[in-house]
Amino acid sequence: MILNKKYFSIYFSLFFVSHSFSQETKVVATDSSKTENLNEVIITATRTIRQLSSLPLPAQIISKKDIERSNSIRLNDILNEQTGLITIPDFGGGEGIQLQGFDSQYTLILIDGVPLVGRSAGTLDISRITVGNIKQIEVVKGASSSLYGSEALGGVINIITETPKYGFNGNTNFRIGAFYTSDLSTTINYKKKKLGVTTFLNRYSSDGYDLNKADDLKTVDPFSNYTFNTKVVYNFSEATQLFASGKYYTQNQDYIASSTLKGESTINEWNSHLKLSHKYSEKWSSYFEFYATKYKAKDYLDDENNSRFSNSYYNQLLIRPEIRATYNPDDKSAFIGGLGFNHETLDRTDFTIQPEFNSPYLYLQYDGNLAEKLNVIIGARFDSHNKYKSQFSPKAAIRYKLNDNLNIKSSVGYGFKAPDFRQLYFDFTNATVGYTVLGYNAVSTAIPELEAQGQIANIIIPVSEFQQELNPENSISINIGFDYKFSSVLKLDLNLFRNNIRDLIDTRIVANKTNGQNVFSYYNVNKVYTQGLEFNTIWKPINQLKISGGYQLLFAKDATAENAFENGDVFARENPSSPSFQLKKEDYFGLFNRSRHMANLKLFYTIPKWDMDTNIRGTYRSKYGLLDSNGNNYLDTYDDFVDGYTIIDFAINKTFYKNYLLSFGVDNLFNFTDSQNISNIAGRIIYGKLNIQF
């Protein structure tokens, strides 16, 4: 990692060079746009339009401008550059987001306020989402189940897409880069009087890449995908509005499992979203929302004789009607309440049954300024469920304005994640190795069956222990922070977080099989916590220059493991053939795949005279462990770690004749790769982009 340190210092020297350069040009500084952040509004935090700067919750907005200037194409590109967010590749090839130390399955991903589904192995692959039609991305940290129900333990990421704008116009955007990766987006927009329509089309394809040339397999196989999205807005009157959105996503990818097993995988996803809103008076509004989404994935493998080796499919359906109302008794307070119903089904290979989840829910929230300087949010939600324990999720947040420059904010919330279909109904036996994984509810029927077939050598956990319902994983999250404005050009905010997670669902061995393998199932076990601090700062020394930096310190630990270390029950060896020694409490590193430190530094510079802008962005991730390499089942400081690394991206954009924007950039400037451990970093990507407005 010496090399990476070197790159980091090069990056910083570049940073200071450009900084001193910018100070020289300070003469032309004017005062415009310094207040832009004050006007930013966020809807994810409260489900009402809310000024970001006065919110008592840790939240963040990623603007269209920053996405465009960074020339991002998929959601993972841009989220990876945000403080405390990192995308983690999973074994299925998807990339999920880690937030405040939570795995990707504990962060809810929404598009225009409604959730995406299709977490076949828990991860929601965010590289599925194009950023071509995004207006802004909103990130709310801390448990938010009080508004959104299941999955919102770590937080919520809401992707707000473009709505029709006045006139008839459009744009097209084409980017091509390394690995024959091309991305084409076109938007056509129409709005006159009562009717607005916007249509978006995206095609994204790549030849994939291969980090390890020694084997027959590619790291990422070639793929192509399409996203179609049409939105219609119709204003019946000033007070009544209809919104309809239809989205279709399809992806086709080669699926090469070995030199003899080849096939294809496809994903098809539909989302339809309908919303009718009506304003009764200055105080009362109501919304009727209907959302349906279907996610279908399937793949197959053929052997060398072209006969079918394996076939699998995953079809998930979610239907959600919801009504909600807002009431604003005065300009100081707002109430929102909602009532809805989730209907979810899943049909997939290796399932005992075709399960159906039904879950009505109800929520209510108050957001008000109790005093001039004091803002309070109190909310709660109740989710009833046909397959697991009902959940009550409260949340409270408070913000106090100490003076014009300093605000203190704090929030406490409860979050939960319902056991997913897989954890309840899986019935899977690995064809080549022979182990079996059973969902919690599948154990009581599948074990006797295996026993009758003579496959069970001995039972370790009696079937009777699976009579009780599996508990939803849940957490209590606490965030305390402040934001401070040094001046109109320099701001910082700091947030301390702590998440106490209970009833985490893990796998354990239920029985030994006669073939020497084991039967695994799920159970509630661990007490885990994540805690740390997050720090963000924005500095605009002159109008043309924006420098932002962020840092996250993270401790993500299993309390049971911590006890084991404290009690002296954990041992290690210097190398596999040397005597054991006892580990101390401070030798426990924490959960796998969590870095203690993550940081980013971004510099955006505009040269209005030349219609140009340029930026350089760096992200750093400190060392982390992927597995226990010294045989004690825990990640300790004597294990093998993945070295920390820094990635530097560079982009330059120039506008010609007002409507043409030409871009050039290099992602991962110093060609960092780690073929052994990091499958989602492809190496240096040089690209060009053309954007035409019409």
Partner 1 sequence: MKSQIHVNKLKTINKMSKTIKTIQLLAIVALFIGFTSCSSDDDNSAPLLEVASETVSNLHAPQTGGQGQPVSGQFAKFNFETGKTTTSDTDWDIAFRGTSIIVNGGTTLGTTDEPNRTGESAVYIANGTMASVTNVNTSLFTQDSDTGYAIPTGSGNGWYNYAGPPTHLITPIPGKVFVFKTRNGLYAKLEILSYYENAPANPDAFTDATPYYTFNYVYQPNTGVTTF
Which residue ranges make up the site for partner 1 (CB under 8 A)? 512, 515-516, 569-573, 575-582, 630-633
Structural tokens at position 480: 């305390």
CB of 631 to partner 1, least distance (A): 4
Full DSSP string of 436-490: EEE-GGGHHHHHHHHHHTT-EEEESS-GGGGSSPPPPEEEEEEEEEEEEEEETTE
Q: How far is the CB of 576 from partner 1 (least distance, A)?
A: 4
- Rounded CA gap, 640 and 21, in Å? 43
Of residues 35 and 580, the one with the C-beta less far from partner 1: 580
Q: Which is nearer to partner 1, 356 or 569 (CB)?
A: 569
Task: Using the minimum distance from each CB to partner 1, give the nearer residue, 454 or 579.
Answer: 579
Q: Which of 372, 311, 386 is nearest to 344 (CA)?
A: 386
Comparing CB distances to partner 1, the nearer of 495 and 518 is: 518
Q: How far apart are CA 570 and CA 560, in angstroms?
A: 12
Nearer of residues 516 and 608 to partner 1, judged by Cβ? 516
Query: In this complex, which beta carbon is closest to partner 1, that of residue 160 or of residue 564?
Result: 564
Is the Cβ of residue 488 or residue 633 nearer to partner 1 in the bound state? 633
Cα 290 from Cα 564, distance rounded (Å): 49
Of 635 and 652, which CB lies nearer to partner 1 in the complex structure? 635
Taking the complex as a whole, the smallest distance from the CB of residue 586 to partner 1 amounts, in Å, to 17
Count Cα atoms within 13 angstroms, Cβ side, for 476.
6
> 467 or 567, CB closer to partner 1?
567
For residue 255, the minimal CB distance to partner 1 (Å) is: 20
Closer Cβ to partner 1, 560 or 633, answer by number = 633
43 near 57, Cβ under 8 Å?
no
Number of other residues whose CB lies within 10 A of the CB of residue 442: 24
Amino acid at 605: Y
Tokens of 27: 């003469």
| Minimum distance, C-beta of residue 573 to partner 1, in the bound complex (Å) | 5
The nearer residue to partner 1, 46 or 630, going by C-beta atoms, is: 630
The dihedrals phi and psi of 544, each to the nearest 5 degrees, come to: -85, -10
Minimum distance from residue 555 beta carbon to partner 1 (Å)? 24
Length of the chain in terms of residues written: 694
Quote the CA–CA distance of 160 and 49 in Å, as a whole number: 12
Taking the complex as a whole, how short is the minimal distance between the CB of residue 524 and partner 1, in angstroms? 22
Q: Measured from the CB of residue 457, what is the shortest distance to partner 1 in angstroms?
A: 10
CB of 537 to partner 1, least distance (A): 44
Q: Which of 67, 59, 136, 175 is nearest to 602 (CA)?
A: 67
CA atoms of 409 and 191, how far apart (whole Å): 40
Q: Supply the DSSP string of 488-506, one letter for each residue.
A: TTEEEEEEEEEEEEES-EE
Give the N- to C-terminal CA distance of the chain in Å, as an integer.
47
CA distances from 195 to 191, 233, 241, 538 (A): 6, 6, 10, 39
Least Cβ distance, residue 559 to partner 1 (angstroms): 20
Residue whose C-alpha is closest to residue 201's, from 186, 189, 188? 186
- Measured distance CA(129)–CA(229) in Å, rounded: 12
Query: Which CB atom, from 453 or from 578, has the smaller least distance to partner 1?
Result: 578
| Closest CB 216 distance from partner 1, rounded Å | 14
**Shorter beta-carbon distance to partner 1: residue 21 or 581:** 581
- 501 to 239, 359, 398, 598, 683: CA distances (angstroms): 44, 23, 23, 22, 36
**C-beta of 442: minimal distance to partner 1 in Å?**
24
- Between CA 6 and CA 261 the distance in angstroms is 43
How far lies 530's CA from each of 222, 395, 456, 502, 639, in Å? 37, 19, 38, 12, 21
Q: Are 694 and 170 in contact (CB under 8 A)?
A: yes
CB of 18 to partner 1, least distance (A): 45
- The total of other beta-carbon atoms located within 10 Å of residue 361's CB is 22
Which region holds residue 569: left if phi is over 0, alpha if psi is between -120 and 50, else beta? alpha
At its nearest, how many Å lie between partner 1 and the CB of residue 512? 8
CB of 88 to partner 1, least distance (A): 21
Q: Which is nearer to partner 1, 500 or 512 (CB)?
A: 512
Residue 104 in contact with residue 91, Cβ under 8 Å? no
The torsion defined by the Cα of 174, 177, 183 and 185, in degrees rounded to 10, comes to -20
* Minimum gap (Å) between residue 525 Cβ and partner 1: 17
Q: Tell me the torsion sign for CA atoms 386, 391, 392, 396.
A: negative
Q: Which is nearer to partner 1, 43 or 459 (CB)?
A: 459
Distance CA 604, CA 546 (A): 5
Cα-Cα-Cα-Cα dihedral of 110, 114, 117, 122, to 10°?
40
Residue with Cβ nearer partner 1 (218 or 654): 218
Q: Choose between 33 and 258: whose C-beta lies nearer to partner 1.
A: 258
**CA geometry: angle at 88 spanning 320 and 633, to 5°?**
110
Contacts of 228 (CB under 8 A, 6+ apart): 199, 200, 201, 202, 246, 247, 248, 249
Smallest distance, Å, CB 450 to partner 1?
A: 18
The CA distance from 46 to 281, in Å, is 21
